């Protein structure tokens, strides 16, 4: 099973935000997976909250969780939250944000 991905080709919500390369292969399935391997791949949980304020996701502290197994336990924002996060990214980074929760 190949899990190599080109980080440059991954989608992002803002150019300042990207998934760190050591983590990307663990969190996202590779396009070359068989159907069975894809079905067995553990995807991140999506938050059950329909909308969370974008400010709750930004931090001026450096990331502290670097273990990939712990990252799987953190819910990703809901689809309803993503447009607000995308809109808030530029001002968040201008104000000193260095990580996203």
Condensed to tens digits (0 to 9), the pLDDT of residues 25-44 reads: 777 888 899 999 999 988 88
* Burial (Cβ within 10 Å: 0-12, 13-18, ≥19) of residue 54: buried
**Residue percentage of the chain with pLDDT more than 90:** 8
Mean pLDDT of the chain: 76
Tokens of 23: 């983590």
pTM: 0.60
- Give 34-75 pLDDT, tens digit per residue: 999 999 988 888 888 877 788 888 888 877 776 777 877 888
């Amino acid at each position: 099973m190949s899990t190599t991905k080109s980080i440059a080709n991954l989608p992002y919500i803002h150019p300042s935000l990207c998934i760190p390369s050591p983590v990307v292969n663990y969190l996202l399935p590779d396009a070359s997976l068989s159907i069975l391997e894809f079905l067995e791949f553990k995807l991140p949980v999506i938050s059950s909250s329909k909308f969370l304020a974008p400010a709750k996701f930004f931090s001026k502290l450096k990331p502290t969780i670097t273990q990939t197994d712990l990252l799987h336990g953190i819910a990703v924002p809901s689809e309803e939250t993503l447009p607000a996060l995308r809109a808030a990214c530029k001002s968040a980074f201008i104000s000193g944000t260095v990580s996203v929760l």
